[in-house]
Amino acid sequence: MMKVDDGKYIVFKRQEFFELMGELGLPPFVGHEEASAKWDCAPMAQRIAERAAQTCLHDAVVIRRQDVFAAPALEAYANAIQTVIEAMSVEGVVLEDGVSVETLREVADYFHEQASKSYDTPGRKLPTP
């Protein structure tokens, strides 16, 4: 049985990502402050920004479990998948790319589990922009 890969994606807030890239990839480098002071970081910073823009997923949406609306939203998504599973089972529908009922069931189970974790998340709060 395949398990949904929780490590498939990594999520950062944009500002925190760029701060991390600056800390790890731009001078001054630890132990080399004097040499690093002579570097022009602007081209490297620009390259990091360009690569991030090329690499980021433009079709992704992040739902944080701490969001008060996350649990019902995740449940609704899982239930929508379950509805497709039931339609496939009854009507013999075949999805593109060889997606099986078992694979969809694993995905639905994953999102049901995320909904449960969201309900159990302390300090749930309203989303902010």
pLDDT tens digits, 70-85? 999 999 999 999 998 8
> CB-based contacts of 104: which residues, under 8 Å, 6+ apart?
81, 84, 85, 88, 95
| Span 76-124, pLDDT tens digits | 999 999 998 888 776 666 677 777 888 899 999 999 999 999 999 999 9
* Dist. CA 101–CA 105, nearest whole Å: 6
- CA distances from residue 33 to 26, 38, 48, 83 in whole angstroms, order as listed: 11, 9, 21, 60
Mean predicted confidence (pLDDT) in 3-32: 80
**Greatest mean pLDDT range, 7-16, 33-42, 107-116:** 107-116
- Quick one: tokens of 59? 């079709």
Q: Give the C-alpha separation, 111 to 124, whole Å.
A: 18
The confidence score (pLDDT) of residue 91 equals: 61
Question: Which of 67, 63, 66, 25 is closest to 44 using CA atoms?
Answer: 25
d(CA 72, CA 66): 12
Would you state the pLDDT for residue 22?
A: 80
